[in-house]
Amino acid sequence: MVRPVENDVAALVDLARARAVIDAVCDPEIPVLTLADLGVIRTIEQRADGKIEIAITPTYSGCPAMSAITVDLHAALATAGFDDVTITTVLHPAWTSDWMSAAGRAKLRAYGIAPPAMKASRRALFGDETPPACPQCNAEKTEKISEFGSTACKALWRCLSCREPFDAFKCI
């Protein structure tokens, strides 16, 4: 069926508006990051009947924030007038910290969390891990306290200059 041009334009405007709403929803565990910054929104589509279909991907297999993210997306879209929304979880391709946006990295650092220090593809099993710079004083001499931090996606580090402990986003 050929649809009138103005309907197509209206649909595009609608989709752009939905996309803006979706992209602005914040991660429940690191609220300084939007879902767009984090790179977990994979696709946003609108069907001919107006239904919005979103595909999200978890950062970790057991990320407990996924259900909160789904609830937050439904709430934000409902507030903006989109009531008919389905959200599915896709696993492929697997999320990597390389997908975090440059804006997201800057926001993380300003928030006191060191962004991922290197490309996840440059995997180091022992020793030659790139230490993250201290998000407080920017010193490069830092040491790892623990491989795991306050959430699944972070490790715990300490600055050897200002001595402050800090969370660092894992490279995965």
Partner 1 sequence: MDVVAAIEDDLFAYALMLGDSALVLSHRLSEWSGFGPTLEEDIALSNMALDLIGQARLCLDYAGKVEGRGRDEDALAYLRDDNDYRNLLICEQPRGDFAVTMVRQLFYAGFMQPCFASLMASRDSTLAAIAAKAEKEMAYHLRHAGEWVIRLGDGTAESHTRTQRALDEMAIYVAEFFTVSAVERRLADAGIAPDPLALRAPFENSITPILKEATLIVPSFAGGQYGGKNGRHGEHLSRLLGEMQVLHRAHPGATW
List interacting residues with partner 1 (CB under 8 A): 58, 60-64, 90-96, 120, 123, 125-126, 145-150, 152, 156, 170, 172
- Which residues neighbour 20 within 8 Å (Cβ) at sequence distance 6 or greater? none
Strand partners, 85: 52
Which residue, 7 or 146, is less far from partner 1 as judged by CB? 146
CB of 52 to partner 1, least distance (A): 23
Residue 39 or residue 58: which is nearer to partner 1 going by CB? 58
CB of 146 to partner 1, least distance (A): 4
Closest distance of CB 97 from partner 1, Å:
10
Smallest separation, CB 20 to partner 1 (Å): 29
HSE, CB side, 13 Å, CA atoms: give it for residue 139: 15
The least CB distance from residue 96 to partner 1, in Å, is 8
Phi, psi (rounded to 5 degrees) for 8: -60, -45
Q: Which is nearer to partner 1, 73 or 155 (CB)?
A: 155
The residue with tokens 């600055």 is 159
Cis preceding-peptide flag for 93 (omega within 30 of 0)? yes
> For 137, what's the count of Cα atoms within 13 Å in the CB-facing half-sphere?
12
- Helix or strand holding residue 42 (H, E): strand 41-46
Nearer residue to partner 1 within complex by CB, 4 or 62: 62
Query: Of 105 and 170, which has the nearer Cβ to partner 1?
Result: 170
Between CA 30 and CA 102 the distance in angstroms is: 16
